Amino acid sequence: MDKFRFSRLLGAQAAFLKTMRGVLSFGGFPADQVSVLQTAMPGIIAPALVIWGRQDKLLPVKQAEILKRLLPRVQVQVFDNCGHVPQVECAQRLNQEVLQFWAGLDTGAGR
């Protein structure tokens, strides 16, 4: 399913707007909320997989570097020719990366 068909699913637009209104203002993300999140991240000990599209026009790929710095056990995968919705735009590759990540956890590689 392409991202445009996905956006037309029943309730998709309402869910998107509700999410955005809950976290954004005209000035972007509130600095105090960002600060709280960034302060908490180094204490997260769970392994994490971050997948980002290099051509993401909503959240630039440089944001992934911040996560790389803040999360102690993160693996960052940046997909070329992919935008903001890699689970739709690059679904097959994303699924492969997730399965490899999980397999690494099963073998202790993610510890």
pLDDT, tens digit (0-9, with 9 covering 90-100), for 53-86: 999 998 899 989 999 999 999 999 999 999 999 9
User: Catalytic positions, please?
Assistant: 84
Rounded mean pLDDT, 96-111? 84
pLDDT at 38 over 80: yes
pLDDT at 97 over 80: yes
Amino acid 25: pLDDT: 66
Amino acid 14: pLDDT: 87
pLDDT at 32 over 70: yes
Residue (of 77, 85, 75, 93) closest to 55 by Cα position: 85
Rounded mean pLDDT, 82-94? 94
pLDDT at 99 over 80: yes
pLDDT, tens digit (0-9, with 9 covering 90-100), for 4-26: 676 777 888 888 778 777 776 66
Amino acid 102: pLDDT: 95
